[in-house]
Amino acid sequence: MNTIKGPAIFLAQFVADEPPFDNPRNIGGWAASLGYKGLQIPSWDSRLIDLAQAAESRSYCDDLNGTLAEQGVEISELSTHLQGQCVAVHPAYDEAFDGFAAPEVRGDPQARQSWAVEQLLLAAKASANLGLTAHATFSGGLVWPYLYPWPPRPPGLVEEGFDELARRWRPILDAFDEAGVDLCFEIHPSEDLHDGATFEMFLERVGNHPRCNILFDPSHLLLQQLDYLAFIDLYHERIKMVHVKDAEFNASGRVGVYGGFQPWLQRAGRFRSTGDGQVDFDGIFSKLAAYDFEGWAVLEWECCLKHPEDGAREGAEFIQQHIIRVTDKSFDDFVSSGADNTANRRILGLA
């Protein structure tokens, strides 16, 4: 069995123009001072990484790894959440998601999609150059606006949407396979891959591609009222990345799963700082250890109440306390009789 690596922290919510959040050296030192060992890097943020240069230059990657090693941390994974979102955008979200893309492709959905695909291809090469084995992304969504079946969906609508999603992602998955990196889709509302059933629909259409894997984040499953522990049982072979993020669901007579268009503070389902919500992390870490999860436990801080720096500090301690150092021996070895096959047959009355 493997002991889960960590704690690590996803930096998307922390990077800023002011120190210590403004460059790899400074933010690496800050994270290390809190007890983090790994950094999940948002690849769209040039303050932390030049994705194109990382894809082209092994020496650039060696320098970046060296800079972080001097601070006592390493890169756990790269993320293309924003670029992955732009691989598949329904027209209803064109303007909203334009801000995720480079300025020169905004207002042109086809150019934006081409840019997004190129970003993913760069990320595959950059991950390989950095010595990484897994990568985080979103699937995007073509049929998400039709989540609720009213008006009734036309026959074949969902199937055609997933067929197209698979067509767009298959060449990207092949590129990650060539790079030796697992592509991990965060199972997330607003993405077409938002639960186990939709992941299976996609996986089938990409031919059970070996690089098509899962970023497991229990907060998004809890807010859908999905059994996130059973999800691990079902999909553990495909879970290659984990976000440690908490949430709570408190239904009322006013709001439920859909949230009533209310702000986060007033929704029934809310993201909370790790340890402040309802997610059973004891159960999650036990299952991950039992299933021999080889990756990192990565804090993703999102909370409608607590300050992010407090969440980061507490999150490092929380993850460290939950990582199970797996045993290399059985607890009852001390009473082992050391029987061999001949003795076993005697015990069974077969001698």
Residue 189 scores a pLDDT above 90? yes
Q: Concatenated DSSP letters for 216-266?
A: E-HHHHHTTT--HHHHHHHHTTTEEEEEE-EEEE---SS--TTGGG--GGG
pLDDT above 90 covers a percentage of the chain that reads 93
Which among 130, 206, 132, 217 is positioned nearest to 174, based on CA atoms? 206
Quote the pLDDT of residue 336. 72
| Residue 155 CB contacts under 8 Å (≥ 6 apart), including other chains | none
DSSP conformational letter for 66: H
Per-residue pLDDT tens for 164-187?
Answer: 999 999 999 999 999 999 999 999
Between 330 and 202, the higher pLDDT residue = 202
Residue 334 scores a pLDDT above 70? no
Quote the pLDDT of residue 335. 64
**Domains of the chain, with CATH numbers?**
5-347 (3.20.20.150)
Quote the pLDDT of residue 342. 87
Residue 330 scores a pLDDT above 80? no
Q: Is pTM beyond 0.75 here? A: yes
Quote the pLDDT of residue 66. 98
Q: Concatenated DSSP letters for 31-61?
A: HHHHT--EEEEETT-TTT--HHHHHH-HHHH
Q: How many CB atoms lie within 10 A of CB 283?
A: 13
How far are the Cα atoms of 157, 201, 227, 321, 323 from residue 231, in angstroms, in the given order?
27, 15, 6, 23, 20
Residue 88 — pLDDT band, cuts 50, 70, 90? very high
Mean pLDDT of 138-157: 97
Per-residue pLDDT tens for 261-303?
Answer: 999 999 999 999 999 999 999 999 999 999 999 999 999 999 9
pLDDT above 70 covers a percentage of the chain that reads 99
Q: How many CB atoms lie within 10 A of CB 145?
A: 12
Mean pLDDT of 18-35: 98
Residue 31 scores a pLDDT above 80? yes
Residue 125 — pLDDT band, cuts 50, 70, 90? very high
